[in-house]
Structure 1
Amino acid sequence: MDAVAVPPTRRALLRTAFTAAVLAGTAAALAPVLRARRPRPVTAPAPLAEETYRGRHIAVRSHQVWIDGRPLHVMRRADGSYLSGINHFESFATPLELARAAVDELGTERLALAAPHHG
């Protein structure tokens, strides 16, 4: 006896289409999670810049600045420039320029110790 081919029913076609849509949606939803788990290349931190400016020791690493061993709060603006609480009306192209301007503004005063951040 020969087997007779039975055409798929409407229900079977809809079930197949629904399953394919669910699998595609799941794959799309999981793609960002799976990409985030990929190992990222390790980049070395920006080189440490140190100098003595007007008798004050300035140290800069990436976006962190210290003046005479005390941290200076630095904020990065959307345009890529930097500002600090010492002189927040003017922005500077680099953290080192910002540190020099802070030393100019401080004069002979010492930078206050930063309060711990809460969060």
Structure 2
Amino acid sequence: METPVNLDNLREMTDGDRELEEALFQEFFSSAAELLSQLTQAVQTNNTEGWRAAAHALKGTSYNLGAKKLGDYCKIAQEQNDASRNTKEEILQNISSEYERVRAYIDAGEY
């Protein structure tokens, strides 16, 4: 099974500085948790602009970290801005599940 994060680009950016990588992971987790909350709220309140903005922001941070599949789900979310609530709930479930895979992989420290 493919790992949820490809750290090649991150390692190149940080020059292999593990401490800096850890700080970047923590910043990612903090911002991702807030953005997931914003996506959830946007679905509940039918806030299409909030949905698009949160999906766009999470897409960028995911791709920067090397979490391509998570970024791809966020791209779908952004493109499905006018989708039904049920569709958005399904997309959000995919995003949340993939986020948990990324988090578990990083937390395990096996990278």
Using the size of structure 1 for normalisation, the TM-score is 0.24
Higher strand share: 1
More helix by share: 2
Larger radius of gyration: 1
